[in-house]
Amino acid sequence: MNNWEVVIGLEIHAQLATKSKIFSGSATAYGAPPNTQADLVDLAYPGVLPVLNARAVQMAVKFGLAIDATVARRSVFARKNYFYPDLPKGYQISQYELPVVARGTLKVMLDDGSVKTVGITRAHLEEDAGKSLHEGLPHATGIDLNRAGTPLLEIVSEPDMRSAKEAVAYMKKIHTLVRYLEICDGNMQEGSFRCDANVSVRPKGEEKFGTRAEIKNLNSFRFVEKAIQYEVARQVELIESGGKVVQETRLYDSDKDETRSMRSKEEANDYRYFPDPDLLPVVVDEMFIEAVRATLPELPDQKAARFAKDFALSAYDAGVLSASRELGAYFEAVIAGLGASHAKLAANWVMGELSSALNRDNIDIANSKVNPRALTGLLKRIVDETISGKIAKEVFEAMWSEGKAADAIIEAKGLRQITDSSAIEGVIDSVIAANPKQLADYRSGKDKLFGFFVGQVMKATGGKANPAQLNELLKTKLGGGNA
Amino acid sequence: MLHNLFIGELAERLVKRQISSVELTRHFLSRIERLNPALNAFITLTAERALEDAAAADARLGKGEKGPLLGIPLIHKDIFCTSGVKTSCGSRMLDNFVAPYDATVVARLKGAGTVMLGKSNMDEFAMGSSNETSYYGPVRNPWDISKVPGGSSGGSAAATAARLAPVATGTDTGGSIRQPAALTGVTGLKPTYGRVSRYGMIAFASSLDQAGVFARCAGDAAAVLQAMAGFDPRDSTSVDVPVPDYSKALGAPLKGLKIGLLREFFDGLEPRNAALIEEALNIYTGLGAETREVSLPRLPLSVPTYYVVAPAECSSNLSRFDGVRFGYRCKDPKDLLDLYKRSRGEGFGAEVKRRIMTGTYVLSAGYFDAYYLKAQKARRMITDDFRAAFEKVDLVIGPTTPTPAFDIGAKMNDPVLMYLNDIYTIGANLAGLPGVSVPCGFVDGLPMGLQLIGPHFAEAKLLNAAHQYQQATDWHKHAPRGYE
């Protein structure tokens, strides 16, 4: 395994967030009853013609600008011809030789904190096909054309990724970017964001690429990682046992965690691409491009750099906090109330308690049960030492479930921190008195028992003793030890 | 008789309430009933609806509304979708297809107050030059019913020549209006590509298809074009260029008009045909036009170029006829592949299949460059040749067809011979130019056409040149015997 290098390129399909389809006036909303969002154009009735949705072009250009790509002044729609029941025209309108976006790059941060630049060969506009339905239809196949004609941006990377993890990191970055740009809702369950992975292996040091297999239609980051890992292992095993990888399309079965052959290149279609004579070349001028550029938001990398600089955060923290526009906005709202000097505290809470609560209850940050203002209210009490960080977690949970402000919960539950030295000393004295054996052991060198006494005092005070003061006082009281 | 009147005259009588649209419609319906069986010019008759449309037109006229087409009966080629009416495109594939919407051409002409008498017969999917590929049988030429009327808009041409309607719509992909107009002795106009919306017109070759009109004179064609033309947001290839007043343009004198004689059109032209063109040129010279020879050296590439481009586009355009959503579906398909194969195998006729196969071949990996790309290059060259010619002359002139109407069955077994019928008409389609064919005399008792081709969007100039010619001649007034 160590003698092999993995080569991965991804083709990501991002469904563009237009209200209507790319060539018809039908709505694109997800989940409508079958065929209620398909008009005569989507059904490919005789005589109908496609008309390009300009919003889709704007979105593609926006993406191109965000990855510093070449935006083609002239791009061409072509027909990809093949027969399939969910493809009503018998061809898919796509871009072939002249895509709208070419030659961009994307910086991706890897787990080890290093940054990798991935080349993006092209991004082109195309229409989605419909869906074939089999459930509940014995001896028949249903066709739902609601999805037919939905605009897609197909983003094709260079074969630059060298591991499944890199591929996932790249895909996540694209996912972040398209949501930042508000050109795709990124919903992977609904298929709004999915990818095909081209995977090959070659002996380390070899320049020539190995034969690749294409794994189709991966719709979760986890599946991308697992499918690539399986596929790499399969190819290595195959070659090492004297076999040869064949160029083919494979499907990932998530239940069995394996990829299976779908069709080999020999039986592949000849798509007979040619320019679609129903559509004029898409011509975008400088003015159009500049108008789109003006709508670009602060991009993830820009935001991360600003967070790192303005708030003295690590590159990792800055990266996590800028992973979505909403998260970044939440964080900045907290900073606004709390002050930039407490950015690290805010960062830890947003990435820690808040994120895990959101994940646990599976809700997104826009609907968070604790809003930025409420969280700021809580963090202020840590800053002014009304409560300890530990108590704050308890308060946060209460805020999350009861929806009340931090102060109200602190008061109602009497969680205010005890900072009165004599009160803490009193508790320490009674704890020491109640545990003579532990005291003796501690004094005879069992330093670890210091924690035992801290715990006992905290228990007795309901966790409210100021931790720094408690440490200080306990050290003095226990004396004799080495602490 | 009413059926010999031009629509300008009919419109005047309608406006003056000397005749009602219902009466006019009945007149043509009774002619159709009597004369069509020998011609087979219709696929669908819409008599009942025609009378309703006519009554509606009469109501509008009664309110004092005026319009050059208000209350005028016409026929639509069965390639145009007509809401609630069978739209077969001459094919078994669409024999059961009732269009759920109106083509833009149909909607615009309906809005102008025309009365649809029916849908005309045509070559299957507009693929043919004789109207013999129709699932509904050949159309016969009213000048001699043993002859073809030309195609693909053979039904519209024959019906117009036989005075079964004053005007009819057609489509022209490689000559499908001009060639049958010539062979039946009527005026046929193919506008500039993009002048008339293709929305609702069942596609044969999208980059070549253009809707146009059959009439008995250029003035009538101008009036119908006026209603058809104009940008349509539903057709991205329709062009947003203002529509001039075509009827007003008909008065301009031809003095100083520079007419180019296409040398390539006269090389090897049959002497009697050449003589008719010579005669027409004399008329034009007499009207003050100047003639000079121009050469389009790459024009001879037209036919081979066309027979790559058109089949390529048709092979893709016709993929939607798969038996899944509409149209013909084979009986008891055993699986998906069987459904496709048999529905298409049984639904399409021989010529359509030939072109789908040709088109599939020229687009295939390994052949694309040699055929499709090369044809695109040749197409640009032909367009460049025309452009260069139009720097020297206003219009070019030549014959519409090499020969008059031929016998039914004569060329059906020789596709290449059949394709050569369009040798003079295809160039205008490849270059997207407007062209008109006007009757210019007879060979062997059969009408012949004179073709005028102009620069893009020069329909007004073209129609005026045709109109002036018709003011000086009466070839367009000849009616076939039995149809006077």
Indicate the residue of A43, A51, A88 with minimum beta-carbon distance to B236: A51
The better pLDDT of the pair A456, A91 is held by A91
Q: Is B287 contained in some domain? A: no
The whole-angstrom distance between B139's CA and the closest CA on chain A is 24
| Contact criterion met (CB < 8 Å) for A44 and B320 | yes
Domains and CATH numbers, chain A: 4-291 (no CATH), 312-413 (no CATH), 421-478 (1.10.10.410)
Q: Is B22 contained in some domain? A: yes
| Contact criterion met (CB < 8 Å) for A46 and B94 | yes
Q: If DSSP codes are grouped into helix, strand and coil, which group holds residue A157?
A: strand
Residue at token pair 């999917």:
B125
The whole-angstrom distance between B196's CA and the closest CA on chain A is 14
Q: Is B453 contained in some domain? A: yes
Residues of chain B contacting A280 with CB distance shorter than 8 Å: 236-237
Cα dihedral sign, B326-B328-B334-B335: negative
Mean pLDDT (chain B, rounded): 97
Task: Average the pLDDT over B462-475 and give the result.
Answer: 98
Q: pTM of this prediction?
A: 0.91
Closest CA to A464 of A397, A430, A413: A413
pLDDT value of position A8: 98
| Contact criterion met (CB < 8 Å) for A46 and B81 | yes
Residues of chain B contacting A144 with CB distance shorter than 8 Å: none
Indicate the residue of B200, B312, B340 with minimum beta-carbon distance to A47: B200
B106: domain CATH number is 3.90.1300.10
Residue at token pair 């070449």:
A70
Please say whether the beta carbons of B227 and B213 come within 8 A: no
Q: Is B277 contained in some domain? A: no
The whole-angstrom distance between A219's CA and the closest CA on chain B is 28
pLDDT value of position A446: 87
Query: pLDDT digits over B138-190, tens only?
Result: 999 999 999 999 999 999 999 999 999 999 999 999 999 999 999 999 999 99
The ipTM estimated for the assembled molecules is 0.96
Mean pLDDT (chain A, rounded): 93
Q: Give CA–CA dist A94/A75, Å, rounded.
A: 11
Q: Is B177 contained in some domain? A: yes
| Contact criterion met (CB < 8 Å) for A90 and B200 | no
Residues of chain B contacting A91 with CB distance shorter than 8 Å: 316, 319
Indicate the residue of A48, A270, A274 with minimum beta-carbon distance to B372: A274
> Per residue, what are the HEC states of B409-438?
CCCCCCHHHHHHHHCCCHHHHHHCCCEEEE
Q: How many domains does chain B have?
A: 1
Q: Is the pLDDT of residue A301 over 50?
A: yes
Query: pLDDT digits over B381-401, tens only?
Result: 999 999 999 999 999 999 999
A54-66 and A164-180 helices cross at what angle (nearest 10)? Answer: 120
Closest residue of chain B to A93, computed from CA coordinates: B316
Query: pLDDT digits over B181-203, tens only?
Result: 999 999 999 999 999 999 999 99
Residues of chain A contacting B364 with CB distance shorter than 8 Å: 270, 272
Q: If DSSP codes are grouped into helix, strand and coil, which group holds residue B483?
A: coil
Q: Is B198 contained in some domain? A: yes
Structure tokens at B293: 């020879």
pLDDT value of position A329: 95
Closest residue of chain B to A274, computed from CA coordinates: B363
**How many pairs of residues across A and B have Cβ atoms under 8 Å apart?**
100
Q: Is the pLDDT of residue A204 over 70?
A: yes
A281 touches chain B (CB under 8 A): no
| Contact criterion met (CB < 8 Å) for B320 and A79 | no
| Contact criterion met (CB < 8 Å) for B326 and A46 | yes
Query: What amino acid occupies position B359?
Result: G
Active-site amino acid positions of B: 77, 152, 176
The whole-angstrom distance between B200's CA and the closest CA on chain A is 4
Closest residue of chain B to A86, computed from CA coordinates: B324
Interface of A with B in 93-152 (CB under 8 A): 141, 143
Query: pLDDT digits over A258-286, tens only?
Result: 999 987 655 667 999 999 999 999 999 99
Q: Is B270 contained in some domain? A: no
Asked if the peptide bond before residue B437 counts as cis, ω within 30 degrees of 0, the response is: no
Please say whether the beta carbons of A246 and A266 come within 8 A: no
Query: pLDDT digits over B56-105, tens only?
Result: 999 999 999 999 999 999 999 999 999 999 999 999 999 999 999 999 99
Q: How far is CA A451 from the centre of its chain?
A: 40
- For residue B167, the enclosing domain spans 2-252+435-477
Please say whether the beta carbons of A178 and A193 come within 8 A: yes
Closest residue of chain A to B373, computed from CA coordinates: A274
Q: Give CA–CA dist B445/A403, Å, rounded.
A: 97
Indicate the residue of B198, B233, B372 with minimum beta-carbon distance to A51: B233
- The total of other beta-carbon atoms located within 10 Å of residue B1's CB is 9
Dmax (CA) for chain A in angstroms is 96
| Contact criterion met (CB < 8 Å) for B313 and A85 | no
Please say whether the beta carbons of B127 and B352 come within 8 A: yes
Q: Is B342 contained in some domain? A: no
| Contact criterion met (CB < 8 Å) for A47 and B100 | no
Q: Give CA–CA dist B119/A81, Å, rounded.
A: 32
| Beta-strand relationship, B258-262 and B290-294 | parallel
pLDDT value of position A482: 43
| Contact criterion met (CB < 8 Å) for B324 and A143 | yes
Residues of chain B contacting A143 with CB distance shorter than 8 Å: 324
Q: Is the pLDDT of residue A481 over 50?
A: no
Tell me the C-alpha to C-alpha distance, in Å, between residue A368 and each of A68, A244, A358, A363, B397: 34, 52, 7, 7, 77
Indicate the residue of A45, A52, A90 with minimum beta-carbon distance to B319: A90
Q: Is the pLDDT of residue A1 over 80?
A: no
> Per residue, what are the HEC states of A58-86?
HHHHHHHHHCCCEECCEECEEEEECCCCC
A283 touches chain B (CB under 8 A): no
Buried b (16+ CB within 10 A) or exposed e, B11-50: bebbbeeebbbbebbbebbebbeebbeebbbbbbbbbebb
Dihedral angle, C-alpha B328, B106, B204, B157, nearest 10 °: 100
Percent of chain B with pLDDT over 90: 95
Query: What amino acid occupies position A313?
Result: L
| Contact criterion met (CB < 8 Å) for A88 and B324 | yes
Indicate the residue of B89, B200, B320 with minimum beta-carbon distance to A89: B320
| Contact criterion met (CB < 8 Å) for B198 and A143 | no
